[in-house]
């Protein structure tokens, strides 16, 4: 996410780090580079220029040159400004209605249907919400099918009606259906077009007028940069929407849309999409995003994601197993599934301060666990529970069955043993032994 921009900003700050004494000249030079980095990221030129001017004024106001750590102070000023440009505090969605109606708008291919599913899944996991998805793309039968597939995947009901071509009627009927059947959130997925056109705008605005949603969201592909900003403006002029959803941030190396959209339409970014899976949705926190852009990681989000997957009862069971030396490959597999649910690897690594920069050229694919999983799947239940019985001939069989080699099987067994030992050590004596071991 935003690798190119992070890189360029990092280089800009190097100018300050490289000098013993910081002068007005190299502060100006740094800011020029910051501006260039923003423009390269597809941030509108005027926004980039205003941005650096504000930072410069603040730097003068805070007397950066005579401060103890001018470089750090400059980074902080840039971070604060980025945060405020992206909207300051995080903004939630209005779920006060019963049902709360959420209308999705945006161009075709922006990720509306995928996001409708993600949001339904996100709300469903909150336990107090029972969402209903509504298919209002009356032009493309495939779009209705797609929403049904998504609904099935996450276990959320989808309302559709292939008999009518009237999206206003479908949405009104869907809301009535929701009231009768106890759904407290209605998410309406609408038809998009490849570009902004009048017919689409009239249609979405008619739905909007007829159903008066609590929340109208505009979905846009962040990789389209300035186009995203222009499309947002066109939709906002007609709909006066409540918030923006930026999708495909996982593929966006520049970040121009994320940075400039708020200041152009004056509407907050509420959620982001960071992958194709249903779990790849995050609340948008401007400050955390600014941290990530500046290569400072985002530990808070990382911990939150881990907590979402944390199941106390499961954890207790696991602890008992470790204590009794019963931690086997089935448990290991389980742990891998949990980690995978947290998001794609590259994204997770990017949240660790400093790690994103270090690992940016290493290709970490989502299938990082593919071999491990294949090897474990080729083991018998007995072998998984008691790995010590895996002898040479079993290793050979497992290697063959999983399409890997005996060396890879050995490697996994070795890693597994090391991990088991470490877990045992952390259990007994509250990590004391481990500390001793580390001290040598």
Instruction: Summarize as ranges the residues that interact with ligand GDP (CB under 6 A).
Output: 106, 108-114, 192, 247-248, 250-251, 273-276, 280
Query: What's the min distance (Å) between Cβ of 114 and ligand GDP?
Result: 3
Query: What's the min distance (Å) between Cβ of 160 and ligand GDP?
Result: 14
Q: Is 87 annotated as a binding residue?
A: no
Query: What's the min distance (Å) between Cβ of 123 and ligand GDP?
Result: 17
| Residue given tokens 């509250």 in the structure block | 430
User: CB-wise, 113 or 171, nearer to ligand GDP?
Assistant: 113
User: CB-wise, 56 or 112, nearer to ligand GDP?
Assistant: 112
Dist. CA 345–CA 339, nearest whole Å: 9
Dist. CA 191–CA 171, nearest whole Å: 12
Q: Is 108 annotated as a binding residue?
A: yes
Q: Is 193 annotated as a binding residue?
A: yes
Q: Give the angle 236-280-42 at the CA atoms, nearest 5°.
A: 50
**Distant-in-sequence, close-in-space partners of 92: CB < 8 Å, separation ≥ 6:** 270, 283
Query: What's the min distance (Å) between Cβ of 264 and ligand GDP?
Result: 21
Q: Is 380 annotated as a binding residue?
A: no
> From the centroid of its chain, how far is CA 44?
24
User: CB-wise, 78 or 272, nearer to ligand GDP?
Assistant: 272
User: CB-wise, 111 or 286, nearer to ligand GDP?
Assistant: 111
**Nearest in space to 252 (alpha carbons), one of 269, 275, 231:** 275
Tokens representing residue 41 in the block: 């990221």
Q: What element of type H or E holds 111? A: none
Q: Is 250 annotated as a binding residue?
A: yes
**221: β partners:** 247
Dist. CA 265–CA 228, nearest whole Å: 11
User: CB-wise, 276 or 314, nearer to ligand GDP?
Assistant: 276
Q: Is 385 annotated as a binding residue?
A: no
Q: Is 202 annotated as a binding residue?
A: no
Q: Is 247 annotated as a binding residue?
A: yes
In 324-365, alpha helices (H): 329-341, 345-350, 355-359
By beta carbon distance, the residue nearest ligand GDP is: 273
Burial class (CB in 10 A: 0-12, 13-18, 19+), 193: middle
Burial class (CB in 10 A: 0-12, 13-18, 19+), 97: middle
Tokens representing residue 152 in the block: 């099935």
User: CB-wise, 38 or 104, nearer to ligand GDP?
Assistant: 104
Query: What's the min distance (Å) between Cβ of 212 and ligand GDP?
Result: 23
Query: What's the min distance (Å) between Cβ of 335 and ligand GDP?
Result: 25
Q: Which residues are annotated as a binding site for GTP?
A: 106-113, 189-193, 247-250
Q: Which residues are annotated as a binding site?
A: 106-113, 189-193, 247-250
């Amino acid at each position: 996410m935003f690798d190119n921009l992070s890189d360029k900003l990092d280089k800009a700050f190097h100018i300050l780090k490289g000098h013993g004494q910081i002068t007005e000249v190299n502060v100006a030079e740094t800011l020029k580079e910051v501006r260039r980095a923003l423009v390269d990221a597809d941030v509108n030129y005027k926004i980039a220029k205003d941005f650096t001017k504000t930072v410069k004024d603040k730097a003068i106001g805070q007397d950066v040159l005579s401060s103890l750590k001018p470089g750090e102070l400059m980074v902080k000023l840039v971070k604060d400004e980025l945060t405020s440009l992206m909207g300051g505090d995080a903004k939630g969605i209005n779920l006060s209605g019963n049902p709360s109606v959420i209308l999705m708008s945006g161009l075709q291919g922006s990720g509306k249907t995928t996001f409708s599913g993600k949001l339904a899944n996100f709300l469903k996991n909150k336990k107090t919400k029972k969402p209903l998805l509504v298919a209002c793309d009356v032009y493309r039968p495939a779009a209705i099918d797609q929403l049904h597939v998504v609904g099935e995947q996450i276990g959320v009901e989808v309302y559709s009606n292939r008999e009518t071509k009237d999206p206003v009627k479908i949405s009104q009927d869907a809301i009535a259906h929701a009231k009768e059947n106890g759904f407290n959130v209605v998410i309406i997925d609408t038809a998009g077009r490849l570009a902004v056109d009048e017919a689409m705008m009239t249609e979405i605005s008619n739905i909007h007028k007829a159903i008066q949603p609590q929340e109208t969201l505009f979905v846009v592909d962040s990789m389209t940069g300035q186009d995203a900003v222009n499309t947002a403006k066109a939709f906002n002029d007609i709909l006066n929407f409540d918030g923006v959803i930026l999708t495909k941030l996982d593929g966006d190396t520049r970040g121009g849309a994320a940075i400039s959209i708020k200041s152009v339409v004056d509407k907050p970014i509420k959620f982001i999409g960071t992958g194709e899976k249903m779990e790849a949705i995050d609340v948008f926190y401007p400050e955390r995003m600014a941290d990530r852009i500046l290569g400072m990681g985002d530990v808070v989000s990382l911990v939150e994601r881990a907590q979402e997957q944390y199941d106390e009862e499961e954890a207790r069971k696991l602890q008992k197993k470790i204590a009794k030396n019963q931690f086997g490959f089935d448990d290991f597999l389980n742990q891998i599934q949990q980690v995978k649910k947290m998001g794609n690897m590259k994204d997770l690594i990017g949240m660790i301060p400093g790690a994103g920069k270090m690992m940016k050229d290493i290709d970490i694919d989502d299938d990082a666990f593919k071999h491990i999983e294949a090897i474990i799947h080729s083991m018998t239940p007995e072998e998984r529970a008691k790995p010590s019985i895996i002898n040479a001939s079993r290793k050979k069989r497992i290697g063959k069955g999983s399409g890997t080699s005996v060396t890879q099987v050995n490697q996994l067994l070795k890693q597994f043993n090391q991990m088991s030992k470490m877990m045992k050590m952390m259990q007994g004596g509250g990590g004391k032994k481990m500390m001793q071991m580390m001290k040598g």
